[in-house]
Structure 1
C-alpha cells in the first residue's frame, strides 16, 4: 500500500485516524500537527525519512496522510480531497466542537477503505485516467 497513514484533526485534537503500519507514525503526525501554522486553507508536504506527509488544511481542519516518497503527490492529495469531502458531508460543523477521537469508530473505516482504493486502483489517479481516454 502506498498511502500508509491518515489523520483528521482540529488543531492538535485528533478526530479520526488509521494506520496501515506499526511504529511511531501517529506520534510523528502529532508533532507535525503541533508545528503547523494555524492559518487559512493550505496544502503542503513534509519529508521524513523515506516518507512524505501530505497536508490539506480546509474548513478549520487538517487532513494529513503519509505515503511512500516514491508515490508522488497527485494521488495523496486526491485522497485528502476525497477524505475532506466525505468528512464534511458526514460531520460538518459537529467537528468544530467534537472531543478527541469522537469520529474514530466510524471514520477510521472510511480512511482505511479509501486508503486502499487510492493506493491500488489505477482509476484513483484522475489525470492518468483522463490521459488514457
Structure 2
C-alpha cells in the first residue's frame, strides 16, 4: 500500500497538496472534500476509481490522503494524524504570527489616531493663521483709510490756515497797517 496523494483543505479550498505519482487527483479530491463537508464526520474512507481516499476532519480543516489499496487503514490513519499533529506544532508559530499582526495592528491604530490628532491641531493652527491674515489685511485697510482721512483734515487745516493768513494780510493791507 502506497500513499500517492495528500492534501490539507479549509472547506473546499485546498491549502497544500502533494502528489507522488503523475495522476490527476484534483477532481476526485474536490468530490471527496464536498462529501466530507456534507457529512461532517471526523473520519471517512471512500473508494473512488482505483484509489481509496482517507480523510480526517477537525475544526473545519480536512486532512486527506489517497492510497492504492483498500485493505490497510492503519497506515493512512497514522499518516493523517501525523499531518494534523504537525499542524498543531505550527500553531505556536501561527499564534506568534497572529499576536505580531495584532501588535502591528494596534500600533497602526495608535499612529492613525496620532495622525488624526495632529491633523486636527494643524487645522486649528491653519484657521488661526487665516484669522491673523484676515486681521492683518483689515488693519492695513484701516490704516490706509485713516491716512486718507488725516490727509483730508490736514489739507483742510492748511487751506483754512492759508485763507486766514491771506485774510489777515488783506485786512492789514486795506487798513494801511502794512504800507504798500
Give the TM-score normalised by structure 1: 0.62
Q: 1:10 to 1:93 in 2, by over 3 A?
A: farther
Which residue is equivalent to 1:103? none
Is the 8 Å Cα contact of residues 3 and 67 (structure 2) preserved in structure 1? yes
Is this contact kept in 2: 1:55–1:63, CA < 8 A?
yes
**Number of aligned positions between the proteins:** 94
* Greater relative contact order, per chain length (Cα 8 Å cut-off, separation 6+): 1
Distance 1:46 1:58 in 2: 17
Instruction: Note the residue ranges of structure 1 that are not aligned, 5 or more in a row.
Output: 95-133
Deviation at 1:4, TM superposition (A): 0.4
Structure 2 segments unaligned to the other structure (5+ residues): 95-180
Give the Å deviation of 1:53: 0.1
Contact 1:11 1:38 in 2 (8 A): no
Structure 1 or 2, whichever has the larger Rg, is: 2
1:34 Cα deviation from its structure 2 partner: 2.0
Higher helix proportion (structure 1 or 2): 2
> What do residues 29-66 of structure 1 show as CA deviations (whole Å, max 9, x unaligned)?
01211232356551010002221100100122000000
8 Å contact from structure 1 (residues 2, 67) kept in 2: yes
- Residue in structure 1 matched with residue 80 of structure 2 by the alignment: 80
Trace 1:1-133 onto structure 2 (pairs within 5 A): 2-38=2-38, 42-70=42-70, 72-91=72-91
**Contact 1:5–1:19, Cα closer than 8 Å, also in 2:** yes
Higher percent of residues as strand: 1
How big is the alpha-carbon RMSD for the aligned residues of Structure 1 and Structure 2?
2.3
TM-score by length of 2: 0.47
Supply the distance in 2 between the matched residues of 1:29 and 1:53 (Cα, whole angstroms): 8
Moved more, 56-65 or 84-93: 84-93
Query: Following the alignment from structure 1 to structure 2, what is the Cα–Cα distance between the partners of residues 56 and 92?
Result: 21
SS of 1:62's partner is strand
